[in-house]
Structure 1
Amino acid sequence: MPRAGIRTLTVDVAPGVHLWSDVRGAADAPPLLLIMGAQASGLAWPEEFTDALAARHRVIRYDHRDAGRSTWSYDEQPYRITDLADDALAVLDAHGAERAHIVGMSLGGMLAQLLLADHPDRILSATLIGTCALSGRPLVEADGTETAVADLPGIDPRVLEMWARPVEDHGLGAELDRRVAHWRLLSGEELPFHADEMRERERRIIEHAGRYDVSTAHGRADHSGMERTEELARNTVPTLVTEASAEPVFPPAHARHIAQVTGNARTVAMPGMGHALPRESLGPLAGAILEHTAAASAAPAAS
């Protein structure tokens, strides 16, 4: 059952394909869409973080196709990653949001960039967390040194090794153990890791989905056609990029790269944060987003 004050809505995005979504906050507040990463349920956005944003926004979360309570459809109806950006627009449409602030994490940050590039008229502001630029332009350091995209820091080998292991079914308890170990790696080593909290969050996600198996659809989907070099360079939508010091998937240089190749973008430091949303980072992150969305909302009036 949803918590008090939270409404759920099913969104149709293709024949036989439905997305679960929920919304909280005042009905007349500016909408804010949360876009999670690959294979992740919308419930991966912690409740306390979502509630903090809902103090000023109508906050919408949703499950991607092949995640959570949405239709697991890839094997019967393959899709492209770019289709998931269209899904995000469909969620906004279903919730009556003509324009919205968007916050994307990991793959969700890439989908947010696709929206910035292809549908800027729908976006009030964007926040990108733990992701990489959909641009072919190099990173240019302060001393003029250029680093090609292919030479930017890569994923921590320990994370790659874990991702390469096949996920076998050894029961619910073993799957919870695996997920906690995964999040321990993704969290980095600068902040305490709260294993019990993460285990409980994953237990709620599994209960929400009604299953504990893991889809590989987003890894198998066609990732071509995502580069938006010129469109991002022309971006005028206010864009905030988190620079997490302990990020093991897209190390801090990627945040600086996004901000450099994207028009009207800036970084905000998230000390100690990795490729996860730990307790210690939720307040600073929500505060930074709310400051960003407030400034973006005020900008048209100021001009």
Structure 2
Amino acid sequence: MAKVKANGIEIEYEAVGNRNDPTLLLVMGLGAQLTIWPDSLVEGLAAKGFHVVRFDNRDVGLSSDFGAWGLPNIPDAIQKVMSGQKVDSPYHLKDMAADAVGLLDALGVDRAHMVGASMGGMIVQILAAQYPERTRSMVSIYSTSGRPGLPPGKPEALAMLGSQPEGNTREDRVLHGMKLRRVIGSPAYPMPEPELRAFVERNVDRRWYPEGAARHYLSVIASGDRVEMLKTVKVPTLVLHGEEDPLLPVECGRDVARLVPGAAIDTYPGWGHDFPKELIPTLVDRIGGFCKAAS
């Protein structure tokens, strides 16, 4: 892995594949490090003929954090939005989109296929709308337009966004991470316990930083919806969504596909809000084939 200075911050990234192949930029979600992207997905896409770049968003992993801003009051922010007040946030989703462009600039990449998951899907939607000259195509994975009135996630899944471990030990953090993964994961593809533990331990040990996740959540709240913006997207667009997503229900993905002119959408039974290994070959083929055709 490596680090670059871009958009006024430091961004940790990893690149796999031939530098001369079309670049495919992977943008991860709320509080999620680049290591949440499965290695098998990254390597599979590289084998399809892409230069695959994944990175830590600001305020997560090994990229610059905004700890000086402090811990946000999420309930207060939600109340302000509901009453039409402005929400103060150290940054917005548009700033995170600008980070992605800054990373491409630092790498000397003119255009990329923008592939984002969850909050990362929101970021690539902004990239496709506001940076079309930098965007070859967009793939929005289990994300949303943010339209008010869309079905909410399951209460137990939404509750996990603001929950904390029972204690401060490494084991408390690992058990909390395992619980989160079980709650938002795919009902049809449960991860075996040893694999789940190893996956969570890898991410806890790389960096444990829930404060950054809280500021990510604040930025989503403060940024509003992307309904009108999505109507302006002209790049080839693919929406992928699980039919059993407990965090952002499948109707959220369908809304994105309806809003973007000409967008394609695939939904998958049994898929939740994760990347089960059983679906990786299907996702590699679908994303790789779509991006090849868009090139």
Q: Same fold (TM over 0.5)?
A: yes
Distance in structure 2 (CA, Å) of the matches to 1:265 and 1:44: 26
1:66 aligns to what?
59
The letter for the 2-side match of 1:70 is S
Task: Give the Cα separation in 1 of the matches to 2:39 and 2:27.
Answer: 15
Q: Please tell me whether the aligned partners of residues 117 and 228 of structure 1 are also in contact (alpha carbons under 8 angstroms).
A: no
Per the alignment, residue 246 of structure 1 pairs with 244
- Once superposed, what is the RMSD of the aligned Cα atoms? 1.9
What number of residue pairs does the alignment pair up? 273
Query: Following the alignment from structure 1 to structure 2, what is the Cα–Cα distance between the partners of residues 20 and 100?
Result: 18
State the percentage of identical aligned residues: 30
Q: Which moved more, 1:280-289 or 1:159-168?
A: 159-168
Flag structure 1 segments of 5+ consecutive residues without an equivalent.
Answer: 1-7, 137-148, 298-303
Matched residue, 2:225: 227
Aligned counterpart for 2:199 among listed residues 190, 198, 201: 201
Does 1:214 pair with 2:210? Answer: yes
3-state SS of the aligned residue for 2:53? strand
Matches within 5 A, 1:37-56: 37-55=29-47, 56=49
1:6-38 Cα distance to aligned partner (Å, 9 max, x none): xx33122355x3110010101110000000001
Asked if structure 2 preserves the Cα contact closer than 8 Å seen for 1:82 and 1:226, the reply is: no
Conserved in 2, the CA contact under 8 Å of 1:245 and 1:273?
yes
* Range moving further from structure 2, 64-73 or 215-224: 215-224
Q: Which residue of 91, 104, 122 maps to 1:110?
A: 122
Maintained 8 Å contact 2:14/2:55 = yes
Structure 2, unaligned stretches of length 5 or more? 71-89
- CA shift in 2, pair 1:162/1:208, >3 Å: closer
- In the alignment, the residues of structure 1 paired with residue 275 and residue 61 of structure 2 have an alpha-carbon distance, to the nearest angstrom, of 18
1:84 aligns to 2:96 (yes or no): yes
**Conserved 8 A contact 2:186-2:276:** no
Opposite residue 157 of structure 2, the aligned amino acid is V
- Inter-CA distance 50–12: structure 2 relative to 1 (3 Å threshold): same
Give the structure-2-normalised TM-score.
0.86
Cα separation, 2, equivalents of 1:9 and 1:292 = 28
Q: Distance in 2 between matches of 1:214 and 1:232?
A: 30
3-state SS in 1 of match to 2:140 = strand
TM-fit CA distance, 1:206 = 3.0
Report the secondary structure of 1:205's partner residue: helix
Match for residue 122 of structure 1 among 134, 142, 146 = 134
Superimposed CA distance per residue, residues 242-263 of structure 1 (whole angstroms, 9 cap, x where no aligned partner): 1311111111111211111111
Which secondary structure state, in structure 2, belongs to the residue aligned with residue 221 of structure 1?
A: helix
Name the amino acid aligned to 1:46: P
Say which structure is richer in helix. 2
Moved over 4 A (4+): none
Structure 1 residue 167: Cα displacement = 4.1
Counterparts of 1:86 and 1:205 in 2: how far apart (Å)?
Answer: 25
